[in-house]
Structure 1
Amino acid sequence: MTNFTRRSMMATMGAALATPALLSRANAAEITLRLHHFLPAVAPMQSKFFEPWAAELKEASNGAIDVQMFPSMQLGGKPPQLADQTRQGICDIAWTLPVYTPDRFPVAETMALPFMVKNAEKTSVVMQTLMDEFGEGEYSGMKTLAFHTHDGGKLHTRGGPVTSTADLQGLKLRAPNQATGEMLTALGAEVVFFPVTEMVVGLSNGVIDGCCLPYEVVPAFKLQELTSTTSQPAAGSRGLYCNTFSLVMNQRSYDKMSPDVQKVIDDHSGMALSQRIGKQFDEFEAFGKSVVEKQGNEIAEIPAETIAEWQELAAPIHDAWVQKLNDRGLDGAAILARANELLDA
């Protein structure tokens, strides 16, 4: 064997032996995904969901997917711009609320109507199903990863409990979204709209008497110290409202991935992820309630018959929403009927 042949064979063997190591290194953090959201880094949503989920993506892809967190709108802009930032590629993944841009994602907003919520887990499954069946076209330029909701809102007030329509008369309440504001107005409350970050000031200086929010929001804003009573629907009744959330990804970011990496994303999104997030929000809700109880605040029950009366008064809001869906070329009655069917199942 000539020296040339021997050197050629050794070079070939060396290349073959080096190939696995090269592939292993190349497979590490091949793709960096920027996840943008509006909550601070210390929020449970980041520590208990985003960070574990990112770690699972990295492990399942053998290190190919690295998710970088950008909380508190660190990439710029305001929360209502998150969906557009995802579509434009300013970020790769965003977590946002459809109600931040009213009427733009009407199917995704449907579950934010009054009395369209059981607990967060069940309602998140309903929302994901509704979006799979009716709403995928709403997020053009984006790959939808999950849709979910929080638990039903409660009335947190500085004064006494709210257990009847009479108790709402003239009560100044901060409303969480447009449809809930319409319902509270119809019930006799004086409704104001401002960002949740301004709610603390409003409660402190008496501009508002209370707010309509789930328990899970209480610890972050120390609402247990600013209010004395929480009024919640009787067990078995639907919640007053919930807000809806979307976790979306830039379509181009997904399309440029290899099929095996795309499969990792697919396997960690969809219905199972929606249910998982909903379940976590139920855990956040339980913790928030424990904070209210520890403070010694009164927790009152809104009787089931009162909730039934309020649902009847909210019917025109649902009818108007059906018409809004119809105006978009959708079957509004079918969408609302399907949502109610799934909630009651």
Structure 2
Amino acid sequence: MTTMTRRTALASMGAALATPAFLKKAHAAEVTLRVAHFLPGVAPMQTQFFDVWAKEISDASNGAIEMQMFPSMQLGGKPPQLADQARQGIADITWTLPVYTPDRFPVAETMALPFMVTNAEKTSVAMHQLMQEFGQNEYKGLKPLAFHTHDGGKFHTRGQKISTAEDLKGLKLRAPNQATGKMLELMGAETVFFPVTEMVVGLSNGVIDGCCLPYEVVPAFKLQELTSVTNEPEAGARGLYCNTFALVMNERKYEGLSDDLRKVIDDASGAALSQRLGAQFDKFEAFGRSVVEKQGNEIHTIPAAEIAKWREMATPIYDEWIGKLNDAGHDGAAIVARANELLDAG
């Protein structure tokens, strides 16, 4: 073997030794992660986020990590069981809402209180920070990958304009969560709780006058055809409510990965992913609003000064939540105050 050939061979051997193991197996996945959620496979969340995110992780690991998607609860169970499915290893990663299991994840639920939302991106950043500061022990057995919210809800009605609390009196509205339902009742509305599928029937037959949901939900259920007026807070005011989301991974599965593969997961999660998910929901929101506009429905503005009054009216709801946080071993007042501080700073 010539000197040049030996040098080339040694150089190649050195490069091979220096290459992480997962990079050597570009065409054979070392790890398959099952990702489960409750939405249909055709939902924008699947096609515009999960599919893209999975490919990014596959590319970053050079094919060593493969994600298998199980939308529509294809691994069995019901949406409230998603966090436990990840903890038990039925799925490796799940995307779920803390409000599906009321009071179980109280820190993560805090941003789902009334008027604890600006837009989805900023509120998601605030929620991630809140969980870093106060919610580290809330998801035991799980590796949180991201926390986020959707944009603030709006009142979609069959014709009623809402400018003041007085306009809510007697209206029958479908409420999206317990805290928002209590807020609406404080202002005189009659609230009902049922799945969104039943909400469509309720709007169609006049059982309810409207619902409180973000624009992003509108296209999937054709709410623009079932309602004629959308009442939204004035720009700059807090949104009516938002629901919170958690993207979590089985902790044992995460810890069982090699250092290189854990880094791939770490690089694709955390604060940046929370912000990205929030921004994704702001895009969904803008599209939903465009659908309402295209339908020709009226978009009515609720003055910011009125929203401020409603926040004062919701004080008993915040006080009750602070008590729940205290009962769970937290400093409830500090958590609610910090949440508001983060939202105002955003």
The two structures share one fold, judged by TM-score above 0.5 = yes
Q: Distance in 2 between matches of 1:139 and 1:121?
A: 22
Query: Is 2:249 the partner of 1:246?
Result: no
Q: Distance in 1 between matches of 2:217 and 2:161?
A: 19
Query: Counterpart in 2 of 1:147?
Result: 147
Q: Distance in 2 between matches of 1:25 and 1:165?
A: 62
Provide structure 2 residue ranges, at least 5 long, that are not aligned to the other structure. Answer: 1-9
Query: Counterpart in 1 of 2:206?
Result: 206
Q: Distance in 1 between matches of 2:107 and 2:83?
A: 15
How many residue pairs get matched? 330
Query: Counterpart in 2 of 1:191?
Result: 191
- TM-score, normalised relative to structure 1: 0.93
Q: Please give the secondary structure, in 2, of the residue aligned with 1:219.
A: helix
Q: What letter corresponds to residue 270 of structure 2 in structure 1? A: G
What does residue range 25-104 of structure 1 map to in structure 2 within 5 Å?
25=25, 28-104=28-104
Query: Is 2:190 the partner of 1:166?
Result: no
Q: What letter corresponds to residue 208 of structure 2 in structure 1? A: I
Q: Distance in 1 between matches of 2:217 and 2:56?
A: 27
Contact 1:144 1:248 in 2 (8 A): yes
Contact 2:33 2:66 in 1 (8 A): yes
Contact 1:28 1:62 in 2 (8 A): no
Q: Deviations over 1:15-68 (max 9, x none)?
A: x8xx89997348721100000000001111011110110001001011111001
Structure 1 212/324 Cα, relative in aligned 2: closer, same or farther at 3 Å?
A: same
Query: Counterpart in 1 of 2:5?
Result: none
Query: Counterpart in 1 of 2:217?
Result: 217
Contact 1:157 1:211 in 2 (8 A): yes
Q: Distance in 1 between matches of 2:196 and 2:270?
A: 29
Query: Counterpart in 2 of 1:303?
Result: 303
Contact 2:159 2:228 in 1 (8 A): yes
- TM-score, normalised relative to structure 2: 0.93
Q: Distance in 2 between matches of 1:326 and 1:100?
A: 21
Contact 2:112 2:243 in 1 (8 A): yes
Query: Counterpart in 1 of 2:228?
Result: 228
Percentage of pairs with the same residue: 74
Contact 1:150 1:244 in 2 (8 A): yes
Q: Deviations over 1:64-121 (max 9, x none)?
A: 1100100000111100000000000000000000000000000000000000000000
Contact 2:82 2:94 in 1 (8 A): yes
Contact 2:26 2:62 in 1 (8 A): no
Q: Distance in 1 between matches of 2:132 and 2:195?
A: 30
Q: Distance in 2 between matches of 1:201 and 1:262?
A: 46
Query: Counterpart in 2 of 1:123?
Result: 123
Q: Please give the secondary structure, in 1, of the residue aligned with 2:136.
A: helix
Q: What letter corresponds to residue 144 of structure 2 in structure 1? A: T
